[in-house]
């Protein structure tokens, strides 16, 4: 979302490498995800209260903030797990309907996804989603294609969604990307 007095030019800063860890409690079947800054992803089982957590998946990724080079506004994305590209798996889903509508304009639809469990953690706010969308589109030739980012609350049934969070599976280096 643009302030009236600034035509923001966003830059990614404070890039911190780490891992997304997704785990499951084998007793209650609850799924949880979190970000780890460890050198290697934690893979061991552990007990926490009544939960017995087992790692289901880990993937390399990074945390970041966006800062406007003009007005120096800083936006933190601690509650963002990642982005999922809509693949059109459910014709009744609002995200797929939007994807079909924007397809003729050559617009890719991504979903800003928060950590699990969804009902217990903070979600990316719409203003932050809009800023993230601005960041990606300012770096693209919008005459060729654009990106639309929406909240994961638009997904009809997350359990039936085939879209996957975009991540670096299998990488072992925690070096930040070269600029």
Q: Summarize the confidence of residues 54-82 as an average pLDDT.
A: 93
Q: Summarize the confidence of residues 18-32 as an average pLDDT.
A: 92
The answer to whether residue 160 scores a pLDDT higher than 80 is no
Residues in CB range of 42: below 8 A, 6 or more apart: 21, 36, 55, 58
pLDDT of residue 47: 95
The answer to whether residue 119 scores a pLDDT higher than 50 is yes
Q: How crowded is residue 30: how many other Cβ atoms within 10 Å of its Cβ?
A: 14
- Of the spans 34-43, 62-71, 150-159, which averages the highest pLDDT? 62-71
pLDDT of residue 115: 87
Which two structure tokens, joined as six digits, stand for 153? 């609350």
pLDDT digit string, tens, across residues 93-116:
999 999 999 999 999 999 998 888
Kind and range of the H or E element at 103? helix 94-103
pLDDT band per the 50, 70, 90 thresholds, residue 1: very low
pLDDT digit string, tens, across residues 128-149:
999 999 999 997 876 789 999 9
- Look up the pTM and report it: 0.82
Does residue 148 contact residue 96 with C-beta atoms inside 8 Å?
no
Q: Summarize the confidence of residues 75-82 as an average pLDDT.
A: 93
Does residue 168 contact residue 59 with C-beta atoms inside 8 Å?
yes
pLDDT band per the 50, 70, 90 thresholds, residue 169: low
Strands, E assignment, the chain = 10-25, 31-36, 46-48, 51-68, 74-76, 80-85, 107-114, 146-151
Partnered with residue 76 across adjacent β-strands are 65
Q: Which sequence spans correspond to the domains of the chain?
A: 10-160
Pick left, alpha or beta for residue 67 (phi over 0 → left; psi -120 to 50 → alpha; otherwise beta). beta
Looking at per-residue pLDDT, the higher value among 163 and 77 belongs to 77
């Amino acid at each position: 979302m643009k302030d009236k007095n600034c035509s923001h030019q966003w830059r990614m800063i404070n890039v911190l490498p780490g891992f997304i860890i997704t785990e499951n409690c084998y007793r209650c079947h609850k799924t949880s995800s979190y970000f780890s800054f460890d050198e290697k992803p934690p893979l061991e089982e552990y007990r926490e209260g009544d939960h017995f957590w087992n790692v289901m998946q880990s993937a390399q990724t990074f945390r970041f903030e966006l800062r406007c080079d003009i007005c120096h506004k800083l936006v933190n994305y601690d509650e963002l797990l990642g982005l999922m590209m809509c693949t059109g798996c459910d014709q009744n889903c609002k995200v797929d309907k939007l994807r079909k509508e924007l397809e003729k304009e050559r617009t890719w639809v991504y979903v800003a996804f928060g950590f699990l469990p969804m009902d217990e953690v903070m979600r990316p706010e719409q203003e932050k989603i809009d800023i993230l969308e601005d960041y990606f589109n300012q770096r693209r030739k919008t005459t060729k294609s654009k990106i639309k980012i929406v909240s994961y609350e638009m997904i009809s049934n997350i359990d039936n969604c085939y879209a996957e969070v975009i991540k670096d599976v299998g990488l072992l280096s925690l070096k930040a990307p070269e600029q």
